[in-house]
């Protein structure tokens, strides 16, 4: 069975400092990895997916299959980055795209 | 941008009562999902729905739960006889990219 681990429940970073939110996964096949963000009182939003290799809001994440990791990074934190961040793994099965989530990391940017 | 809409935003119910949570997914999507998040815990998959049938369900999705899409628009999650431990945020999703804002269910 697949599993996603986010070791940090809480992370506080000063504004302007680099951010790294850790995510590790376990799955025997080739998964798809995602990062979701949830701002205060808002819905879960898709932030990044590994297959698109994009940078959204300054965030990037690289899939490291050797370390089974998909850490989320941003070089310079901004106050508006404060939110809950969830790493998720998707195993596609004939179109069924069920997600397995990590427990989430609450990121707080200190002004 | 298309949006998934859930109603109500908050539902309080007595233990043993039936509740129906409603979702309007994105119309041209094919797969729909329900997830739940108990306070302080992770988001957990409940069920996926395709072509008017359950495609996959988790261990959590026992006989007390059911889903249907009665009118081709609304996608509902019914809990037949609620328990205290059903208290959680329930999220509807339309593909992996679109989540509803959630319904907070409180069972008292």
Question: pLDDT for A4-57, tens place per residue?
Answer: 999 999 999 999 999 999 999 998 878 899 999 999 878 889 999 887 777 889
Subunit contact B96:A90, Cβ cutoff 8 A = yes
Reported as a pLDDT band with limits 50, 70 and 90, residue B107 is very high
| pLDDT tens track for B39-77 | 888 899 999 998 889 999 999 999 999 999 888 788 999
Write out the two tokens for B54.
Answer: 């359950």
Measured CA distances, A78 to A57, B7, B62 (Å): 10, 33, 43
Distance CA B9, CA B20 (A): 12
pLDDT at B1 over 80: no
Q: Which residues of A touch B44 (CB under 8 A)?
A: 101
pLDDT at A106 over 90: yes
Q: Give residues with Cβ within 8 angstroms of B57, minimum separation 6.
A: B46, B47, B48
Q: 């989540």: which residue's tokens?
A: B99
The pLDDT value recorded for residue A95 is 73
Cross-chain CB nearest to B43 (options A46, A86, A97): A86
Distance CA A94, CA A106 (A): 33
Subunit contact A101:B44, Cβ cutoff 8 A = yes
Closest residue in B to A101 (Cα) is: B43
The pLDDT value recorded for residue B61 is 96
Between chain A and chain B, how many beta carbons pairs sit less than 8 Å apart?
54
Interface test with B, best of A36, A44, A90 (most B CBs within 10 A): A44
Distance CA B50, CA A14 (A): 45
The pLDDT value recorded for residue B16 is 97
């Amino acid at each position: 069975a697949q599993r996603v681990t986010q070791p940090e429940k809480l992370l506080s970073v000063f504004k302007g400092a680099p951010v790294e939110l850790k995510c590790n996964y376990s799955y025997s096949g080739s998964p798809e990895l995602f990062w979701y963000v949830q701002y205060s009182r808002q819905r879960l939003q898709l932030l990044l997916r590994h297959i698109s290799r994009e940078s959204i809001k300054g965030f990037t994440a690289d899939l490291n299959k050797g370390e089974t990791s998909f850490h989320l990074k941003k070089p310079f934190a901004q106050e508006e980055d404060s939110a809950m961040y969830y790493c998720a793994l998707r195993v596609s099965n004939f179109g069924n795209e069920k997600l397995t989530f990590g427990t989430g990391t609450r990121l707080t940017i200190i002004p | 941008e298309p949006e998934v809409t859930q109603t109500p935003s908050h539902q309080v119910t007595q233990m043993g009562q039936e509740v129906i949570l409603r979702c309007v997914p994105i119309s041209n999507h094919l797969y729909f999902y329900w997830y739940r998040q108990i306070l302080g815990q992770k988001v957990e998959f409940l069920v996926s729905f395709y072509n008017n049938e359950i495609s996959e369900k988790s261990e959590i999705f026992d006989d007390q739960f059911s889903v249907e899409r009665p009118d081709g628009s609304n996608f509902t999650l019914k809990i037949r006889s609620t328990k205290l431990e059903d208290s959680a945020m329930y999220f509807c999703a339309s593909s992996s990219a679109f989540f509803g804002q959630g319904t907070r269910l409180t069972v008292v």
